[in-house]
Each structure stands twice: as C-alpha cells, then as structure tokens.
Structure 1
C-alpha cells in the first residue's frame, strides 16, 4: 500500500495542478455552472493533491523529487482553498436564496406573487420618543429591525444587516447613487427572496444595500402592498 501511494504521488500532483490550472483559466465560464458541480471538482482537486502530499511523505528519505512534490503539493493546496471556499459559498447562497421556501404553501406563493399580504389583521405601530415608527421583519430566519420610512421608495439594508441575512456583501456592485444623511453615497441592488412582516409574507422584494447607515429602512415597495396606511393618535396603522 505504501509503495502504491508513493508511486502515484507525482501523477496525482500533475493531475491536481492541471485541474487547478483549468479551473482558474475557465473561471468566468465555470461560474455559470451549478455550484454543487463546481464544489465537486474543487473537492477532487484537493483529494489528488492530498494523495500527492502523502505519497511524497511516505517516500524514503533521499527519494528523487520527494521535496519538490511535497512543496508543490502544499503550494497547490493553498491555491485551491480559496476556489473551494468560493464554490462552497455559492452553494450555500443557492440553497439560501434560490430554493423555494419550504414553509410557504403553494397558495401563499400565488398570493404573495400578486402582492397580497398574508394576514387578516392590521399592523399597529406606536410612535417612539424620537418620532419614528419601527418594526422587525424576518428575512432568511434572521430578525431585522427596520425604521418605517414612507419617504423611501423601497427597502434599504445596512451593510451589517445584509451580511447577517446571507447576502454576499463583498461581491455587491455599488452602482446606484442614493442620498443619505451624511451626503451622497452609492448603493448596491439586491432582491430579498422572502420577507415576513408580522404574519404578512412577501416574495421577491427589490432592495438596495447601503454602505453606511445605522438602521435598515422599510419603504413604499412593501408599505404600498397594504390597502391603507394611516397615522392616528401616535400610531401607524397598516391595513391589509
């Protein structure tokens, strides 16, 4: 067994280096493939490199090319780890954001696609001491606090909230100019797959991610889904 592992060390190293080079050269095309397939290839590269590394380690001292195979295997392994991490992150993103919500019925999906809130009762918010209204929404299993802003056209997530609900903030394209309290800034467009607001369920909500800001904003892209919005006796009432 030891002889076989040692014998296949160099072929395994060459196979690993070849697959890694092919993966890096074809990166723009591979990004369009299913993440699970890409992750499988990255795992295969790591396995053959491990065979090469252990094969060189089992070889007797003084064996020809032993040190060369060892160090090349280590260097290639360091290079493939970011590839594996990238593909694993894409797979997790696909499972989180692209799979249909398991807890939502088909009728609910039909209703929310039409923009129908999924609760019979109104949402009543009390005015806080700073004069604003706040509400928590559930996105991807995480509770996100929002400032209700009728002057905002849509949802604006802070960078920290976006990261908390699973958005890959390091890959966002901050290309949309927005006005903030500190001045002009650039925001990144995203789509919230599923949002629950006190029993009201919404699907495919366009939003932006702000580079700054202390709290996320809930704007009219969600508020206008309700039949009426009324302020009465220091309360904001959203009628379904």
Structure 2
C-alpha cells in the first residue's frame, strides 16, 4: 500500500515563525544580559540619602541618569576634569556647542566644545548648571561624569560598591 503524505500549506510559514520567535527570544535574553553586565545599576538602590552603585565587570561605575530631563548612561570618571558628552547627543540633550578648546585624552589631543548642562540627575540627586564639553571623538552614547560634577558629591568605595551622597 502506497501512502503519500501531503504537507499543509501552512507548514513552512509556521516553521519559519517558530524559528524567528526562538531567535528573537534568544536575542532579547542576551541583549538584556549584556546590558546588565555593562550597567548593573539600572535599578538604583536609594537609602538614607545615599545611592549605592555596583562595579561592572570592567571595574567601572555606570548608572542611568538624566541630562536636561533626557535619559542617559553615565560612567563615573575620576580621571576626567570635566564631564564629557558625545557631540552627537547635543541636539537630543538640548545642548549648544560653545567655544572650541583642545583637551588631552587617552587617545591624544582632541578639540571639544564648551557647553552648559542645566540639570544632571542620578536617582534623587540633582546637580544644576554644570560646565561640560561636547566631544566629537566619543562615538558611543556613554557620558563621562567628570570631577566638576563628582566634587559636589561624597563618594565612598568599599570593595566593589560605591556609595554616593550629596
């Protein structure tokens, strides 16, 4: 007896949909996992007037914050004199490029542009009227929070955590 199997016209599209769903779920899982490794402080802990940050895998303190009411990613950089903002974020953050001046960076000398941040917020802590620079050499979206901002905060590091108070 010869049996012939007929395939449903929906078999290939359903198989494609199943694989696409699996790939999407894997992407979302690993994207979130990598994001948490770079910035483990996406859910800030605020107790007694202080914020506690955890180091990321590279030993940096990275935290979400706001500049002029817009969500940004900040990396605390005690080696930076002034807060450095990637120039391509200027329009989104409502920042104007002012006078150009040269600065020495780990990658050599670069010309940056003075700007003024009206407000910078990390959790419940807010700083106002901070000088900053717009740096055309910074290609990613991470803002380097320099000593001109950090000097207004009390920083206490213990092990792999950093406590910040205003």
- The normalised TM-score by structure 2 is 0.64
* Alpha-carbon distance in structure 2 between the residues aligned to 1:167 and 1:192: 7
Write 1 or 2 for the structure with the bigger share of strand: 2
* Higher RCO (CA 8 Å, separation ≥ 6 residues): 2
**In structure 2, which of residues 123, 126, 143 is the aligned counterpart of residue 216 of structure 1?**
143
SS at match of 1:163: coil
Cα RMSD, aligned residues only: 1.8
**Given the two structures, how large is their TM-score scaled by the length of structure 1?**
0.46
What is the distance in 2 between the residues matched to 1:236 and 1:143? 21
Q: Secondary structure at the match of 1:128?
A: coil
Q: Give the count of matched residue pairs.
A: 118
CA contact (8 A) 2:98 2:115 kept: no
CA separation of 1:205 and 1:173: change in aligned 2, threshold 3 A: closer
CA distance, structure 2, for counterparts of residue 136 and residue 146 of structure 1: 6
Inter-partner Cα distance in structure 2 for 1:239 and 1:173 = 31
Deviation beyond 3 Å, 4+ runs, structure 1: none
Residue 110 (structure 1) aligns with: none
Cα displacement (A) at 1:174: 5.5
Structure 2 unaligned spans of 5+: 1-46
Q: Equivalent residue of 2:95, what SS?
A: coil
Structure 1, unaligned runs of 5 or more: 1-118
Higher helix share: 1
Greater C-alpha Rg: 1
C-alpha deviations, 1:50-102, integer Å up to 9, x for none? xxxxxxxxxxxxxxxxxxxxxxxxxxxxxxxxxxxxxxxxxxxxxxxxxxxxx
Structure 2 counterpart of 1:57: none
